[in-house]
Amino acid sequence: MPNVTYTNRRGRKYLLCKIFTKKGKPRYVFSLRPVGTPIAEMPPDHEIVESVNGVVSLRRAGQTQIASAEVDVVRAEIARHRHLVRYQVEPRKDALTVFEPIGIDVGELASMFGASPTIFDFTNRHPRFDPVMRFILVDDQTRTFEVERMCYRGSMYGKWLPLHVQGPLAKLAGKYVRCIGTDDFFELY
């Protein structure tokens, strides 16, 4: 029987393996090379998840409280803004996180200097991403969200800064997503 494998967006093939913690409990991990015991079938009630950076993991099915329609709302808002063309959205438990590509858009750099875009093709197809904004579900019944943005100052660097606003996701996304990647983003607090 073949082992459970998954090929991520970067073309790397991962193998699902079972390892044991120090206390002897089983744990499932995806690995490029076999570690522990390769698994022939998915554990019940689990699903394969790939992060925006291509990290593959296994989680219990239904762990996220975010509906796919809510993910679509934020993706649609991002699509409305040309400067956010490479940004990604990922649901995690009770939050929707917006990620920005790290570094220079090398395709744009190549066109500025007349270089062939194929030279920079790998970096454009496989960028790394950092979180920049998130919408946290605060009331499951009314589907009310609050907004936080990443802070880049002093002792708060790399921490989430709450904007102290709550409301429906569509309204919040419409107001705040447009600020990502602009100077207005740093005025949000």
- Closest Cα partner for 135 from 174, 80, 173, 102? 173
Domain count, the chain: 2
- Whether residue 55 is found in the same domain as residue 99: no
Same-domain status, 84 and 170: yes
Q: Is 56 found in the same domain as 25? A: yes
142 in the same domain as 83: yes
Closest CA to 89 of 63, 108, 67: 67
Q: Dihedral sign, CA of 85, 86, 87, 90? A: positive
Whether residue 131 has pLDDT greater than 80: yes
Average pLDDT over residues 111-117: 60
Same domain, 98 and 56: no
Segment 164-175, tens digit of pLDDT: 999 999 999 999
Residues 86 and 178 occupy one common structural domain: yes
Q: Are residues 33 and 78 in the same domain?
A: no
Same domain, 134 and 80: yes
Residues of the chain with pLDDT > 90: what percent? 43
Same domain as 131, residue 96: yes
User: Are 175 and 132 in a shared domain?
Assistant: yes
| CB 112, CB 153: distance < 8 Å | no
pTM given for the model: 0.74
**Contact 185/175 with Cβ under 8 angstroms?**
no
Flag whether pLDDT at 1 surpasses 60: no
- Residues 74-94 as b or e (16 or more Cβ within 10 Å = b): bbebbeeeeebeebbbbbbeb
What is the residue range of 50's domain?
5-60
Q: What is the pLDDT of residues 135-180, one digit of tens each?
A: 999 999 999 999 999 998 888 888 999 999 999 999 999 999 999 9
Burial level of 39, CB count in 10 A (0-12/13-18/19+)? middle
Judge if 149 and 84 occupy the same domain: yes
Residues 104 and 163 grouped into a single domain: yes
Q: Are 36 and 20 in contact (CB under 8 A)?
A: yes
Identify whether the C-beta of residue 135 lies closer than 8 Å to the C-beta of residue 129. Answer: no
